[in-house]
Each structure stands twice: as C-alpha cells, then as structure tokens.
Chains A and B, each alone.
Chain A
Amino acid sequence: MSKLENKLLIDVGSTYFKLCTKDNVQQHFRDFNKDIYDDLTYKCGEIIKDYDKENIHICSSANGGLSTLIIGVTNSFSLKYATNIAFNSGINIIDTVLFRDIEKTSIPSELIDVVIVVGGIDSVSNIFDERLFKFLDGLNYSNIVYVGSEKDSAFLKENIENVVVLPNIINEKLHVEEENLKEYLTNLYQADIMGKEDIKHLYDITSNQIFSTPYIVNKTLPMIDSKFKVADPYILIDIGGATTDIHYSKDLVEENMVTENEYDRLVFKKLGVFKSKESLIFAAKNNEFVYELLAHLKVTEHIFDETSEKATRVLMQLAIFLVLCKVSAYRQAYVNLKLNALNSIVLTGGITKVLKQEEIEDIVTFFYKKILNSQHNPTIVMDNNYDVWTLGMLEK
C-alpha cells in the first residue's frame, strides 16, 4: 500500500461510496435523494479536505455504465470481437444484431448510448446496404461508430448522420485490433460522466480522470495475488446493487483472441441484489434448478416476496448460483467458461458484506455437484474489505 501514501481513492457505486486511504477503507451507503457530490462531501468531507486534488483518484459505476447495441456480420468475428472490446471497456451490451437477420430483428425501444457497426476485412466491400439505415432510423441512439471494412466507410458516412469512423477492428489476418475502439468507448464513458451533473461535480475534488469501475477492476487482476491467496485460472465475480460483473482468466475459454488483456470481462446488466432485484428474481424463477437450491437453503419461494435480511442473503446466494449457471456449459451464452479448470473464485461487491465464506462455499459446491456433476472445489476468496479496485487505481 506504499503507493497510497498521500492518496485518496474513491469508488462511487450504485449503492455505496467506498473510500480508501493508506490507513483504512470506509463504505458509506448512498442517499439517493441527494446529489452524489453533496452526499459524498457531507459524509466524507473531513477526509477529502486533507488531500490535494491531484492525489484524489475516483472511479465510478454510478452512471450505470453506457449501453451499446452491436450490429455485425458474423458471430465468429465481427460480433465476437466488438462484444469483447465493449465488455472490456466497461460498456454494457443491450443486444447484438446479425446483419443478415436485421429485418427480422425487433428494434429495442430504450435509448442506446452507442451503436457499434462492424464487419468485414478491409479488402471486402458492399457489406452493408439500405437495410442497415432502415433499422437505424427506427432506433433511438446517442452515438454511432463504424469499425468495419474501410471500403464501406464512405458509403456509411454518406448515409448515417454523425457516424464516427474508426480503423477496422478486424485485420487482414482476422485478428482483433482493439485499441482505437477501446479508446473511443472509454472516452465516451468519460464524456457521459462529464455530462451527468452530479458526477461532473466530482471534478471539483479531483484533477485526475474519472474512470469506469469495471475498467479499473480489470486492471487490478494481474496483481491480485499480491493481496489474496489466489491461483490462476480464476474468476472474479462482482455482485453489486445493479449489475453483476464477471472477470475471467482467458485460459478458461476455448475461443480466445489476441488482445492486450490477460482477463476478459462479462457483465450481466440486470442481475443485482438492490436496483435489479426484480429481474434477478425473474431470472431465478426461470432457472430449473432454483427450487432445488431453495430447498437446499431450507426456504420456499415465498422468500422472494419478503424484504428481510434473510431474503437479501438468499437473493445473494441465488445471484452467485445464477451467474455460475450463465457462464457454464449448462447455458450456451456469449462465453462458456471451463469451470472445472478453475482454481479460485474471488468475490467482491456488496455481497462480501452480507454473506459468510461458508455460505458462499455451500452454493459453489451445490452448483458444481448439481450442474457439472463434479466434486471440484475451487478456493473461495472474499474481498471482505471491498477494496480490490484499489489495486488498479494507481496502475492505469
């Protein structure tokens, strides 16, 4: 923690503020009736005033993150690559659209922060046509970026207002070129923060860039063994109030691409125990194993209707189970992790304050036995201090 000398690190979450100094880590439950800046300075002003602006580093997930919709040409390349870049930039993916099916795809009604259009290598042309523009006409979005074949960029520029054209993310060898899009999305996140009054206000206390929390957490992962007893390959599950993030070691997936990261990220946008409680319960009710799990936990489904401490604990245990289901071979998802090769599971986020180690171990064992028919037992590591993010804050 010597790097923390004279530094103050702040994480603004959807439910809590976390402050880290060289001496300790504090958490404060947010008051949602107050502006973030006011709430933070009211609760922690005494600490903040002791630090210079250049020594205060802030990351935030309080703006809910950006949402994106990706339109691509193939699942194996364009959609896969853009999805990977978006996740690792801290962006939440609303949906992916395969261009050949675009006419049959229902148009999302919600506002999309950024649309990513991608497809083809630079030597290919005439990939997109009128069908794309028709789809975009019906879509409600704030930004659009094209990262496909260079030969189609002029055509798209002519027909799509305010489209940003960046170099193709697929090179001639069909490898991913992530940097330009990653930078664009990170800056967009930054602009979004700047545009949100109560976050923008935080620049009154820091002169450093405010980063997205998932981006920062991803940066911490190669250093995690300096803090916890963890052995690769591992996953880090961050179950928060609004979303659940999972960061995983890349050797847990078959279909890797060459990127700068040792770890990739996946986010479940509507899986949280506070703001996304309803959708978590909905997902739970649709999982065929959940009733067995509830029986195992010695509760009935009526627990979903309760608002007690016990109900919160059960919800959190369900969240762990559901997220493991979602990334296992049991569900064909964006990624299926080789969970039998896992050595450690690191848990962070609000759940570490509520659940005990043995309660989590119980769920993980249940999952492995029930879903994977395995006795495998990865070590469970709890980020009890809820400060794993501090490792990456000074390493950007």
Chain B
Amino acid sequence: MSLLQEERNIILNNEYVDNFDFAEVEEFVKNASKDLFISYNFKTKNKMLVQPRGGFPTYDKMFALYEFFDKADVDVLPCTIDSNTRLNDYTTAKKMLRLSEENEVDMLNGYPLINHGYRTSRKMMTHFNKPISLRHGTPDARLLIETAIASGIFEIEGGPITYLLPYSKNFPLDKAFLYWKYVERVCAEYSKLNEPINRESFGPLTATLVPPCITIVIQLLEMLLSLEEGVKSFSVSFSQTGSMNQDIVMGAVIRKLAKHYSEQIGVTDADIHLVYHQWMGAFPMDQNFASQLINMSTVIASMVGANKIITKTKQEASGIPTKEANAETVANTQYLLRILNGLPNIVDEQEEEILTAEVMAIMEAVFNDPADTLWRKVFNSIKNGTIDVPFSPHIINNNEMITVRDRNKNIRIIKRGKVPIPDRCFEYEKNQCDLNKDTTSIVNDIIHDIGIMQ
C-alpha cells in the first residue's frame, strides 16, 4: 500500500465519515457525466463560464439555491463551505446544522459537506448535471476534498498560500504545504479515471491593495506545486484591481508566464485557465452602485479574456446575499456577456514589460533558495519576505511592503520590503505616485484606496 493510501485510510477513519468506500467512489468518478467536470466544460463551451458564490447549511436550502441558479442559466454551481468545517471543527458544524434544520434560521454560513456526507450530497451535486466548484478557505482540506470528490464536486479551489495568508493568523504554513500536497495528489489520482479534476488557486488573496506582481507570483507557484504532483487542469485567478488597464496587463502577463513556467518544469499536457473575480474589496451600500460595479467587472473580465468569472451580488455590503440576489447577478452577467461584442484588444507594452520583469525577478529568487523541494523554497521565500502579501494577518508574513494607488488607480509599490523587484521597476512604480506628501497624507491615501469603490 502506498504512503498516500495509508494516509487516506487514516484521514477517512473519522467519526464524521460514514464508512468511506474507496472502490465505490472510484467507480462513481470513472462513470460520472463529463458535464460535471469543469475541465470538460472549459474545453467544450465556447464562452466565459459564469459562477456565483453561495452556500446554505441545510440540504433543502442548498438544493433550492441550485434550482434558482439553474433557472438563471448558471454555468458553474458553487459549494461554499461553512466556517466551522473550514477550521476542521465538525462537532460544532454538526450542532449548528441540527439547529438550522430544526429552526428557520441559518446557523452556518455555508454548506457543512462533511456532516452531510458524500452519499447524501452526491444526490444533489449530480442532479443538475453542471460542474460544481468547492469554495472553502481550509488550510487542512484533506478530508473535505475526499468528501467533495466523492460527492461529485470536481473543481477544488484553494492552495497552501492563498488559503492561508489571507485567512489565518497562526496555522503553520509548512503544514499547509504538506496538507495541500495530499490534495494535489488525490486530485491527480482521480484525474486518471475520467476528465481531469480542476484545481483553482485563489487569486484575490487579501483583496486589499495587493500588487499584481505578488498576485501573479503566488498564482504561478501554486500552479507549479499542483502540476508537479500530476494535476492536469489548473486555473490561475485574480480579482479586479480597481484599474481596468492594470487588470488587462495582469491577464496578459499571467497567461504568458503560466505557459512559460509550466513548460520550464516540463509540463506541456496540462490545461491552464484564467479566472477573474468580480470586485472583492469593500462594496458600496447603495445597491444601484453595487450593480454598476458588478457590470463593470464583467466588462473587464471580457477584456481580460477570462475563461470563468466569479460573480458578486448587489447585497454584498449588507450581509450574506439571498439566493434571489445571487441568481439575478448570474442572469445579468450572462446577458452582459452575450451583448459584449467587438471589444478592442488593448495592449500596454511598457506596463507588461515592467510587470513581467518584477514577476520573473521574484520567481528567480524563489528558485534560487537552497531548499531541496519547491514547496520548501516557497515556504522559505514567504518566511524571509521575498514574497510579501499586504495586509495578511498571518504571523509568518513579512508585512513590510506598502502599496498605494497612482492617479489612474493602478496599485503601485512604494516600499518593497525584502521583495526583490528590480531597481528600475521599483523606481518606475514610485514615479507613478505623488510621494511628496507627508506620511499622514499617504496613510490617508491608503485608507481611501482600500475603500475605493464605496
């Protein structure tokens, strides 16, 4: 028996798992409808796929949400997992699920997949014959992804960096890398049986003034960590920055470098996709403004040429959106995508060259770390500040990089900390900003820039 299988046996020998049947699950994946695989949809649907967010605690409410989405012509269904499950606290999730079932109040902010179990969940996940994407935020997602794939969920979002640095303060990063290695391996194993399981990285990170070079580096590294374990379908992603031009430049550079680095590690048979998140920062309270913001995000996603767009709702600023609001966004986004014809092809060569140089310099520094494995090179690079995510709450993050917006609302680096971007790029970044102000004014600018869409 392989080490991986031994580990799987232990992970699935959990009091909340009702007799996990590996052979049956394998058989299920082997014979599953190809339409359930987003990797197949990417290949066969000649359009940008639209995916909302959403998750409710009870089976009935989740099913009703999916019915709404189905009527709104959704391409990809979401399965957002509740916070307790994200923290591997299945005991509390179970308690809250029972309370949600007994009362008309949602006591969880998502679907507790582990507690429902794969046998029950599979009925729902396969009913609509549409791909489902697992949205969670779990550093240790080993049990969750086993249950997800067994349920018929064939896209797994997240990664050791993108699901840790924005979400966690204390969870050990080295452990997260090892736990995600398990996830990649399991996804790679199941990918041999039918269409590939798609892995998607979470590009928005903290969604707070993250400069494009950091977003892209982390996307590329999570992609490489996934590909080196045998994953054959991967989505890099990023969220709207607040500058249309910067988004278009990011889209071009991330595509180009994803191809470059996957070839560099000798992987030429994996499909790489681009996913665009509608605005992930603070939303306006005014629902009309929120709708305008969502529409603009859709236009930018088209300009970027994304393969999938992940939507927001006009209720974003005021709590968990209703299924009606979610479905409305899906329908509106689909309509807007249909009428967006003849978009111009915009190229900003200077910005692309600068961003490419920044990303490649950081990547080179990561590869030059003396560690013997890629995950440890990346771990060391985060620990020593070579990779630095603004506003990350995690204790391992260096938090020395400072960013602010220039007059055109591009995110610019004004303090690079230990991130080794070339001097000429750094000078270019700073020259776009007015740094002759006093410190208080710059801090006020940063605060304003965080809430730019409000």
Binding site for B on A (CB under 8 A): 173, 175, 225-226, 229-233, 249-251, 253-258, 262, 340-341, 343-344, 374-377, 379
| 5 pairs of A and B residues whose beta carbons are closest in the complex | A231-B10, A256-B170, A250-B172, A375-B15, A231-B7
Report whether B171 and A256 are in contact in the complex, using a CB–CB cutoff of 8 Å: yes
Report whether A257 and B395 are in contact in the complex, using a CB–CB cutoff of 8 Å: yes
Given A256-B170, A341-B88, also A377-B175 (CB < 8 A): no
> With a CB–CB cut-off of 8 A, which chain B residues contact A251?
139-140, 171-172, 175
Report whether A229 and B395 are in contact in the complex, using a CB–CB cutoff of 8 Å: no
Interface residues of B in 84-125 (CB under 8 A from A): 88-89, 91
Report whether B383 and A379 are in contact in the complex, using a CB–CB cutoff of 8 Å: no
Report whether B3 and A258 are in contact in the complex, using a CB–CB cutoff of 8 Å: no
* Closest CB in chain A relative to B386 CB, distance in Å: 15
Q: Give the CA-CA distance A376 to B13 in the complex, in Å.
A: 10
Q: Is B73 an interface residue (CB 8 A)?
A: no
Q: Give the CA-CA distance A340 to B175 in the complex, in Å.
A: 17
Q: Is B340 an interface residue (CB 8 A)?
A: no
12 A–B contact pairs at CB < 8 A? A175-B395, A225-B3, A226-B3, A231-B6, A233-B175, A251-B139, A251-B172, A256-B170, A341-B140, A343-B11, A344-B10, A374-B91
Q: Can you name 9 extra interface pairs (CB under 8 A) apart from A175-B395, A375-B15, A376-B14?
A: A173-B399, A229-B10, A231-B6, A231-B11, A232-B175, A233-B140, A250-B175, A251-B172, A256-B172
* Closest CB in chain B relative to A369 CB, distance in Å: 11
Report whether A377 and B171 are in contact in the complex, using a CB–CB cutoff of 8 Å: no
Closest to A255 in B: B170
* Closest CB in chain B relative to A368 CB, distance in Å: 9
* Closest CB in chain B relative to A70 CB, distance in Å: 21
> With a CB–CB cut-off of 8 A, which chain B residues contact A226?
3
Q: Which of B15, B91, B172, B175 has the most CB of A within 10 A?
A: B172
Q: Is B42 an interface residue (CB 8 A)?
A: no
> With a CB–CB cut-off of 8 A, which chain B residues contact A375?
15
Closest to B171 in A: A251
Interface residues of B in 219-246 (CB under 8 A from A): none
Q: Is B190 an interface residue (CB 8 A)?
A: no
* Closest CB in chain B relative to A148 CB, distance in Å: 20
Q: Give the CA-CA distance A232 to B170 in the complex, in Å.
A: 17
Closest to A375 in B: B15
Q: Is B434 an interface residue (CB 8 A)?
A: no
Instruction: Choose one: B6, B11, B13, B174; the contact of A377 (CB below 8 Å).
Output: B13
Report whether B178 and A232 are in contact in the complex, using a CB–CB cutoff of 8 Å: yes
Given A258-B383, A262-B172, also A343-B15 (CB < 8 A): no
Instruction: Choose one: A230, A254, A258, A262; the contact of B175 (CB below 8 Å).
Output: A262
Q: Which of A231, A253, A254, A257 has the most CB of B within 10 A?
A: A231
* Closest CB in chain A relative to B417 CB, distance in Å: 12
Instruction: Choose one: A231, A257, A377; the contact of B15 (CB below 8 Å).
Output: A377
Q: Give the CA-CA distance A344 to B7 in the complex, in Å.
A: 10
> With a CB–CB cut-off of 8 A, which chain B residues contact A232?
175, 178-179
* Closest CB in chain A relative to B231 CB, distance in Å: 21
* Closest CB in chain B relative to A257 CB, distance in Å: 7
> With a CB–CB cut-off of 8 A, which chain B residues contact A250?
172, 175
Q: Is B396 an interface residue (CB 8 A)?
A: yes
Interface residues of B in 53-107 (CB under 8 A from A): 88-89, 91
> With a CB–CB cut-off of 8 A, which chain A residues contact B399?
173
Kindly count the residue-residue contacts between A and B in the assembled complex, taking CB atoms under 8 Å apart. Answer: 57
Closest to B395 in A: A258
Report whether A225 and B7 are in contact in the complex, using a CB–CB cutoff of 8 Å: yes
Closest to A249 in B: B175
> With a CB–CB cut-off of 8 A, which chain B residues contact A253?
170
Q: Which of A173, A226, A232 has the most CB of B within 10 A?
A: A232
Q: Give the CA-CA distance A225 to B3 in the complex, in Å.
A: 8
> With a CB–CB cut-off of 8 A, which chain A residues contact B14?
376
* Closest CB in chain A relative to B289 CB, distance in Å: 38
> With a CB–CB cut-off of 8 A, which chain B residues contact A257?
395
Report whether B10 and A256 are in contact in the complex, using a CB–CB cutoff of 8 Å: no
Report whether B174 and A256 are in contact in the complex, using a CB–CB cutoff of 8 Å: no
> With a CB–CB cut-off of 8 A, which chain A residues contact B7?
225, 231
> With a CB–CB cut-off of 8 A, which chain A residues contact B171?
251, 256
Q: Give the CA-CA distance A343 to B3 in the complex, in Å.
A: 15
> With a CB–CB cut-off of 8 A, which chain B residues contact A376?
14-15
Q: Give the CA-CA distance A257 to B395 in the complex, in Å.
A: 7
* Closest CB in chain B relative to A351 CB, distance in Å: 22
Could you mark each residue 2-28 of chain B with 1 if its beta carbon is under 8 Å from any beta carbon of chain A, else 0? 010011011101110000000000000
> With a CB–CB cut-off of 8 A, which chain A residues contact B139?
251
* Closest CB in chain B relative to A256 CB, distance in Å: 4
* Closest CB in chain B relative to A135 CB, distance in Å: 32
* Closest CB in chain A relative to B393 CB, distance in Å: 13
* Closest CB in chain A relative to B151 CB, distance in Å: 22
Q: Give the CA-CA distance A226 to B88 in the complex, in Å.
A: 26
> With a CB–CB cut-off of 8 A, which chain A residues contact B10?
229-231, 343-344, 379
Q: Give the CA-CA distance A249 to B399 in the complex, in Å.
A: 26
Interface residues of B in 374-402 (CB under 8 A from A): 383, 395-396, 399
Q: Give the CA-CA distance A375 to B17 in the complex, in Å.
A: 12
> With a CB–CB cut-off of 8 A, which chain B residues contact A231?
6-7, 10-11
> With a CB–CB cut-off of 8 A, which chain A residues contact B175?
232-233, 249-251, 262
Closest to B173 in A: A258
> With a CB–CB cut-off of 8 A, which chain B residues contact A230?
10
> With a CB–CB cut-off of 8 A, which chain A residues contact B140?
233, 251, 341
* Closest CB in chain A relative to B115 CB, distance in Å: 14
Q: Give the CA-CA distance A175 to B139 in the complex, in Å.
A: 22
Q: Give the CA-CA distance A250 to B178 in the complex, in Å.
A: 13
Q: Give the CA-CA distance A255 to B170 in the complex, in Å.
A: 6
Q: Give the CA-CA distance A256 to B174 in the complex, in Å.
A: 12
Q: Give the CA-CA distance A233 to B142 in the complex, in Å.
A: 11
> With a CB–CB cut-off of 8 A, which chain B residues contact A374?
15, 91
Closest to A251 in B: B175
* Closest CB in chain B relative to A252 CB, distance in Å: 10
Closest to B394 in A: A258
> With a CB–CB cut-off of 8 A, which chain B residues contact A254?
170
> With a CB–CB cut-off of 8 A, which chain A residues contact B170?
253-256
* Closest CB in chain A relative to B390 CB, distance in Å: 15
Instruction: Choose one: B6, B88, B89, B383; the contact of A229 (CB below 8 Å).
Output: B6
Interface residues of B in 388-424 (CB under 8 A from A): 395-396, 399
> With a CB–CB cut-off of 8 A, which chain A residues contact B383?
258
* Closest CB in chain B relative to A77 CB, distance in Å: 12
> With a CB–CB cut-off of 8 A, which chain B residues contact A249?
175
* Closest CB in chain A relative to B13 CB, distance in Å: 7
* Closest CB in chain A relative to B336 CB, distance in Å: 43
* Closest CB in chain A relative to B105 CB, distance in Å: 25
Report whether B15 and A256 are in contact in the complex, using a CB–CB cutoff of 8 Å: no
Given A257-B395, A376-B15, also A340-B91 (CB < 8 A): yes
Q: Give the CA-CA distance A87 to B77 in the complex, in Å.
A: 49
